[in-house]
């Protein structure tokens, strides 16, 4: 990709923030910042936890690369602020970001679109006592997954093997979210698939098969160990890989995502040394710095249609 780096103007790499994924965001943002600077972009770190977003306008920033993860960064709130400031930003717009951050709303939309998603039970704040939680395995079977529906990076997630674990798992998830999502456990290979682009022009990158110790692809294994094996190519039958890519694109388009995404749907994927989008992009000849440039070049506002 040949670009005039000066055409981007002054670029803010939004990183850190106030979510439970702050540490990961700082790693992602540092990687993006270094990559953009290495390509001649006038890029600067900007932590919304330490500075008012209004400073972006006052300091003449022309674009924002959103490397924030989780709430107040990936959920449409920062995107809405950038819309009001008139500063084009990377990734999905306000509505798509808000829906994708809410796992329950995402599942409802996919279900309405006829897309497959594991069966689920939502436990509101008034339905989290033992009398309520012990009935969930009767409906979803065991094992099952318990998670906060508005967090990422596997934070607050438990794989429940028996009835006796339910209440503790729900209590853990409830530390991060007033509602708790319980999902049917689907046994099989762990895979994911990144997407780049928008609408009909969006493309699915190669599928990644993830082999984690004892099948536990948790927060620690995602970012802080080298014990996980990532297989690209995935080694899956070609027809199966194509079907995963087809479903991923359908899920991405159903939510109205743009820029990039990662199944399930993550609208501001990680950009750390262990992250999956750069890994998949590299497999088709897109190095990390090139990926960052492409995403930055696609930055826009909801109110400005894509030129594609």
User: Is the residue at 261 inside a domain?
Assistant: no
User: Residue 223 has what pLDDT?
Assistant: 66
In total, how many domains does the chain have? 1
Cis peptide bond upstream of 143, omega within 30: yes
With vertex at residue 143, the alpha carbon angle to CA 141 and CA 145, rounded to the nearest 5 degrees, is 100
Q: Is the pLDDT of residue 308 over 60?
A: no
β-pair type (194-196, 203-204) = antiparallel
β-pair type (260-262, 120-123) = unpaired
User: Is the residue at 264 inside a domain?
Assistant: no
CATH number at residue 160: 3.30.1490.20
User: Residue 151 has what pLDDT?
Assistant: 85
User: Is the residue at 131 inside a domain?
Assistant: yes
If pLDDT is split at 50, 70 and 90, which confidence band does 135 have?
very high
If pLDDT is split at 50, 70 and 90, which confidence band does 305 have?
low
User: Residue 246 has what pLDDT?
Assistant: 98
User: Is the residue at 125 inside a domain?
Assistant: yes
For the stretch 169-186, pLDDT in tens is: 999 999 999 999 999 999
With vertex at residue 204, the alpha carbon angle to CA 298 and CA 269, rounded to the nearest 5 degrees, is 60
For the stretch 237-277, pLDDT in tens is: 999 999 999 999 999 999 999 999 998 899 999 999 889 99
For the stretch 18-29, pLDDT in tens is: 998 899 999 999
Domain housing 139: 119-184
Tell which phi-psi region holds residue 215, choosing left (phi > 0), alpha (psi between -120 and 50) or beta: left
The share of the chain scoring above pLDDT 90, in percent, equals 86
Measure the CA–CA gap between 197 and 231, rounded to whole angstroms: 23
User: Is the residue at 91 inside a domain?
Assistant: no
User: Is the residue at 107 inside a domain?
Assistant: no
User: Is the residue at 126 inside a domain?
Assistant: yes
User: Is the residue at 148 inside a domain?
Assistant: yes
């Amino acid at each position: 990709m040949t670009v005039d780096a000066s055409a981007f103007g002054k670029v803010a790499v939004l990183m850190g923030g106030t979510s439970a994924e702050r540490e990961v965001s700082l790693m992602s943002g540092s990687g993006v910042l270094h990559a953009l600077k290495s390509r001649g972009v006038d890029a600067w770190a900007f932590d919304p936890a330490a500075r008012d977003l209004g400073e972006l306008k006052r300091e003449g920033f022309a674009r924002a690369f959103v490397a924030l993860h989780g709430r107040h960064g990936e959920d449409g709130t920062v995107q809405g602020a950038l819309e009001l400031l008139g500063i084009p930003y990377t990734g999905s717009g306000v509505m798509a970001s808000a829906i994708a951050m809410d796992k329950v709303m995402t599942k409802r939309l996919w279900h309405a679109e006829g897309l497959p998603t594991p069966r689920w039970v939502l436990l509101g704040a008034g339905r989290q006592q033992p009398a309520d939680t012990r009935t969930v395995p009767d409906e979803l079977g065991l094992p099952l997954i318990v998670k906060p529906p508005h967090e990422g990076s596997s934070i607050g997630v438990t794989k429940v093997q028996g009835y006796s674990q339910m209440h503790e798992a729900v209590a853990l998830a409830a530390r991060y979210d007033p509602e708790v999502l319980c999902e049917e456990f689907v046994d099989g290979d762990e895979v994911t698939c990144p997407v780049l682009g928008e609408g009909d022009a969006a493309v699915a990158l190669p599928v990644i098969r993830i082999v984690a110790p004892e099948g536990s692809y948790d927060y620690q294994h995602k970012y802080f160990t080298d014990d996980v094996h990532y297989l690209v190519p995935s080694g899956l039958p070609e027809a199966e890989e194509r079907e995963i890519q087809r479903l991923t694109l359908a899920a991405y388009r159903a939510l109205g995502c743009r820029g990039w995404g990662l199944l399930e749907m993550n609208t501001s994927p990680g950009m750390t040394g262990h992250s999956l989008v750069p890994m998949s992009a590299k497999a088709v000849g897109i190095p990390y710095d090139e990926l960052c440039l492409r995403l930055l070049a696609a930055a826009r506002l909801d109110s400005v249609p894509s030129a594609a």
